[in-house]
A and B are shown apart, each in its own frame.
Chain A
């Protein structure tokens, strides 16, 4: 529990009265099988973060912040979800897909394959996307310990 509260103040999260406007607003919950922000928040508060850090669906959050925008109690739901993802990652609890993306960032500096984008851009007479300094990304990842967490 403490690991999570290092990142976010728990107090105001207890304001939640479960109106579930967050889940109703969540684009991930609309298309994927996920408990949604409300259930993650509530199980985290009442059963502890362990109840949710193992869930792959935690990682479906794209941090679009719509839930936060609409929350009548103005809870920082995305901060909580990010904190939970951090805790999960620290325990090596990272879904394979996320590992793959991290790997891609490490190698190319980008999370997606861009040759298609460059082809499209060429059609409109635009120059290819700028090269990314991969060494810099690596250095950053090394300093934040990202790779170690992903590898384990």
Chain B
């Protein structure tokens, strides 16, 4: 974002601050007395103008700010409204358009952190809003104009996962003219969709519509397909990611014609994952007939040849094209990409823990994925529906819904695809074997999409019994292997015992068991249910909090094929927008060294998670130098420097201290000063607001980019000013948005705890909490807990800490 640079130094004289208090309809105005807040703001020093408006983010709202900047010669703007995570860009743009540097804007979050979480205490909420505005004004006084740096964007993308979402995203980007690296863990692209027989609601053959797309990927000149590959490491930032991909060897060269002569000779057998374990494959195999690349591979876990010792060469002998090559080694691909699309997909729920249904105990209880393979013409039974126990065609089949979904005993969310999948499955049975008696035991049928209700109606017309209520348990006749379902038909109010030859458990969708690996490598956020979190659930559904990284498919939440494809195209489009521009501006929050104060001690360089600080010069001239392009702006260095020689722009010591001071102006003895990191805890507090989780009012949140920015100075200042308690909060260890900067947070807080203990202070008054963006409830809980701590803090204790934290005169 380019803006006219005003060459004005930050000055305390001549400050003209404009304050805008937003009603947000009744969202804020219904709880907080916005007029009173604006009147209060007007009484603050340096405030030239303070008004309340209905919707400040609306066009008229923004126009008013622009007009006021010109008319009243404002040089700072404070907007008290929603979270800066939502509208800071909006207001920055507005301020910029009026000719003011966009970094001279400050926001006070009086919606997510105030009106929405204190719905029932209007007076206290109004008082808190005044405090938040006072804090914002204090910070605004010290804001300085900043210039954003512009970095180039590599016009090349990486797609992780070769399921239908990854395929679609790759094709879209490749067709738009970008080079794409597609990384797939297994031996072939295709993913879950390749395993499924038919798709709902149109009953298209799944592989028939997928295979053309797969081969298009295989032959596209813009796509570099890497199968048997996994992400090894990611470095860099938006537009400039350096990625390492490890590709495991196939042991079969691409000369392979997939004739299959080798397979007959291989002595080793393994369960076939593609058939959900219902069939076997050899040690050398092709995942499935339509696989891309259409090359066989050797499963080294099964192969007799280990560590380069050839104990068996039967496949080698059988191959007439000499394609077998046991000498292949892991290959590392180094890629430079501008955007990354994560489409790593999902797992299906394993119903073994639900012992009452007897999965794995009774052979004729199968999962819906196993059913897909059984009814698929390419499957182990060539599409003939048979019971696993005796190979007989079942006459009575029962489907059980919501297995592993909507339950505190498994996954709490609705998997959203199982209802329609079952309806499709029952229609397939009725289509091929109309005399089969089919029943569906459900809690609610969620046929919400286009064409879904029609399909549901068709299933009812085919005579499928829909019985409301799940059976409590399934028992088996050990001789016939027939099953009896015992349960209540809740609509009839009758208790039934129902015979079935075969039971299909309609299992739900789960995040990949190892999705954390990708999540950590890319610094993404994970929701409480394990799926990756989008940047905004409504307005940025395919973006992640990390710019340049996008989500597609089930990695973000349960989805059907249509939704996965839609999202994949959306993600490709978002990546395209980024790459088409060819450059991106980076927020001007990077670190800067004051060479006069720097002693060249190197503490900052040691804590920098991005290795962006270099020491240059020798002896007395040794100084720290920040590499601005790779500085991510966490501010950990600034918190570490004992000399105040390194500062984070836009989050300077003076700015943050001014917020602490403003926060503790009124009744500090009942107050919690909370430092929250932008990515997890501040977002978690926002989430508490969005979810209307109520917590006590005496908490004042100060936003830093990373908890690593929180210097012991800030905490000491809060106690010195008489705050009852301090909360330092960041991302969970291992999930830090800045690799591991929060380890330094922990170190500093521990140090302070020890100091407080030595000084006879209650260390409980300083709390450290790891709260993710999805853990609004945890945030509310923590504040409740802190309120109890605050209630116990005596005036004497506060006096003691004020005394203790008084700066010692040297």
Contacts and interface: CB of A to CB of B under 8 A. Distances in A.
B492 to A, nearest CB: 11
A2 B472 CA distance: 31
A72 interface: yes
Nearest to A33: B495
Interface in B335-354: none
Interface in B463-514: 468-473, 486-488, 490, 493, 495
A26 B472 CA distance: 8
Contact of A23 (B356, B468, B472): B472
Contacts of B487: 20-21, 23-24
Contact of B470 (A21, A39, A67): A21
Given A17-B443, A72-B408, A74-B408, A22 B472 contact: yes
Q: Which one of A21, A25, A26 has the highest number of Cβ atoms from chain B below 10 Å of its Cβ? A: A21
Given A25-B472, A29-B495, A30-B495, A20 B409 contact: no
B495 A25 contact: no
Given A19-B443, A24-B469, A72 B406 contact: yes
B170 to A, nearest CB: 39
Contacts of A73: 407-408
Nearest to B486: A24
A74 B407 CA distance: 8
Interface residues of A, number: 22
A72 B409 contact: yes
* Interface size class of chain B, counting residues whose CB lies under 8 Å from the partner chain: 20 to 34
Contacts of A30: 486, 495
A18 B473 contact: no
B444 interface: yes
B444 to A, nearest CB: 7
Nearest to B354: A70
A36 interface: yes
Interface string A60-85: 00000011001011100000000000
B356 A70 contact: yes
| Secondary structure call for the A interface | helix
Interface string A36-78: 1011000000000000000000000000001100101110000
Nearest to B408: A74
Contacts of A67: 472
Interface in B357-411: 402, 406-410
A72 B90 CA distance: 44
A73 B402 CA distance: 12
Nearest to B356: A70
A130 to B, nearest CB: 36
A16 to B, nearest CB: 11
Q: Which one of A18, A26, A73 has the highest number of Cβ atoms from chain B below 10 Å of its Cβ? A: A18
Contact of A18 (B408, B469, B471, B486): B469
Contacts of B488: 20, 23-24, 29, 36, 38
A73 B408 CA distance: 5
B502 to A, nearest CB: 19
A12 B523 CA distance: 35
Contacts, number: 69
Contacts of A18: 443, 469, 490
Contacts of A25: 356, 472-473, 486
A20 B470 contact: yes
Given A17-B443, A24-B471, A74 B409 contact: yes
Contact of A24 (B407, B409, B443, B470): B470
A14 to B, nearest CB: 14
A30 B473 CA distance: 12
A35 B443 CA distance: 18
Nearest to A69: B356
Contacts of A29: 488, 495
Contacts of B356: 21, 25, 70
A70 B470 CA distance: 11
Nearest to B443: A19
A19 B444 CA distance: 9
Nearest to A12: B408
Contact of A19 (B410, B469, B486): B469
Interface string A113-132: 00000000000000000000
Contacts of B471: 21, 24
A39 B490 CA distance: 9
B473 A72 contact: no
A21 B486 CA distance: 9
Interface in B213-233: none
A87 B440 CA distance: 39
Given A19-B470, A24-B470, A38 B444 contact: no
A136 B352 CA distance: 47
Contacts of B469: 18-21, 23-24, 38
Contacts of A26: 472
B493 to A, nearest CB: 7
Contacts of A23: 469, 472, 487-488, 495
Contacts of B406: 17, 72
A39 B493 contact: yes
Nearest to B403: A72
Contacts of B493: 35, 39
A36 B472 CA distance: 12
A21 to B, nearest CB: 5
Contacts of A19: 402, 443, 469-470
Contacts of A36: 488, 495
A70 B444 contact: no
A70 B403 CA distance: 12
Contacts of B410: 72
A116 B495 CA distance: 35
Q: Which one of A20, A23, A24, A66 has the highest number of Cβ atoms from chain B below 10 Å of its Cβ? A: A24
A23 B490 CA distance: 10
Contacts of B409: 72, 74
A21 B472 contact: yes
A107 B745 CA distance: 68
A98 to B, nearest CB: 23
Interface in A89-127: none
26 contacts: A17-B443, A18-B443, A18-B490, A19-B402, A19-B469, A19-B470, A20-B469, A21-B356, A21-B472, A21-B487, A23-B469, A23-B472, A24-B470, A24-B488, A24-B495, A25-B356, A25-B472, A25-B486, A26-B472, A36-B488, A36-B495, A38-B488, A70-B472, A72-B408, A72-B409, A74-B409
Given A20-B490, A24-B469, A74-B409, 6 more contacts: A18-B443, A19-B443, A19-B470, A21-B470, A39-B493, A66-B472
Q: Which 7 A-B pairs have the closest CB atoms?
A: A24-B472, A25-B472, A72-B407, A24-B487, A20-B469, A23-B488, A20-B488
